[in-house]
Amino acid sequence: DTQESQSRGILIVIEGLDRSGKSSQCQKLHDHLVGNGGQARYVKFPDRTTPTGKMINSYLTGSVEQDDHSIHLLFSANRWEAIKGIGRDISNGINVIIDRYSFSGAVYSAAKGNPELSLDWAWYPEIGLLKPDLLLFLDISPEEAAKRGNYGDERYETEKMQARVRTLFKELFARIDDLDVWLVDAGRAIDVVSQDIFAAIAKVSSDGPLTESLGKLG
Ligand code: Z5A
Ligand code: MG
């Protein structure tokens, strides 16, 4: 079997604040890996094309209301329905780049200020999903982010929400064991940020199987 001689792909997650440039950087990283002769796939959450994703999109764009718990679980379901395919690609040697993941999932719900949605509660449905080999966090000041395109169009794009999200991301990372988090200053020019990301990726090793999954918060 040819697959046994081939090394697995790596799982990279790019997280960050709104308009920090996640999607731009995921695309650049994808092209960089493919340009170097590797295989890569770009996955974005929420995936708005699936049935759960369509419900999420209607909520985010404000055309329907959803109970806070219910929309939270839909975001999580949108990841669970994709995870086997991601795991399969990784074992087939494809590098997978994910644009927002469980970290956004927990943080945005907990940032709503609903006391029933604590960070612990919000993290729970994510337990068991694949743990990334590397998590890149694109950090940007709210002022810089607000200067970029289309700010304020969707439900969570308010300054109050963004400030809470920023604090909660840091709290969450501190509570996850053995997670390789790289902070990237995303307030710089696109290509300068990319160079940092490529350098970080070059250090990631794909030795050993990707058997680890996200666990409980510490
Ligand atoms: N959400 C949630 O609640 N629960 C979950 O489980 C998940 C998400 C997964 C939609 O997410 C919302 O869902 C989001 C979190 C919540 N809520 N909010 N707020 P989304 O990922 O679909 O959101 P988005 O519409 O893609 O926006 P974004 O991710 O915030 O943008 P970005 O990907 O970080 O940035 P970009 O699209 O690459 O760049 C934005 C603009 O800035 C664009 O015009 C670029 O050309 C420009 N740009 C990018 N980089 C630079 C630099 N370096 N300099 C100057 N200009 C730049
Ligand atoms: Mg984006």
Tokens representing 113 are 């200020």
Question: At which residue do the structure tokens 């959450």 appear?
Answer: 45
Q: Determine contact, residues 213/177, Cβ cutoff 8 Å.
A: no
Atom of ligand 1 nearest to the CA of 190: 53
**Across 57-81, average pLDDT:** 98
Quickly state the pLDDT bin for 160 (edges 50, 70, 90).
Answer: confident
Q: Tell whether the model's pLDDT for residue 137 goes beyond 60.
A: yes
Atom of ligand 1 nearest to the CA of 189: 53
Q: What is the ipTM of this complex?
A: 0.97
Residues 6+ apart with CB under 8 A from 183: 137, 139
pLDDT of residue 1: 46
Picking from 126, 93, 97, 89, the residue whose alpha carbon sits closest to that of residue 109 is: 126
Q: List 136's β-bridge partners, or say none.
A: 14, 182
**Count of residues making up the chain:** 218
What would the pLDDT profile of 91-124 be if each residue is shown by its tens digit? 999 999 999 999 999 999 999 999 999 999 999 9
**Across 136-148, average pLDDT:** 89
pLDDT of residue 15: 98
In this structure, the residues whose C-beta lies within 6 A of any atom of ligand 1 are 16, 18-24, 45-46, 60, 75, 100, 104-105, 108, 148-149, 154, 156-157, 189-190, 193
Q: Determine contact, residues 215/47, Cβ cutoff 8 Å.
A: no
Quickly state the pLDDT bin for 5 (edges 50, 70, 90).
Answer: low
Tokens representing 182 are 């790289």
Q: Tell whether the model's pLDDT for residue 142 goes beyond 60.
A: yes
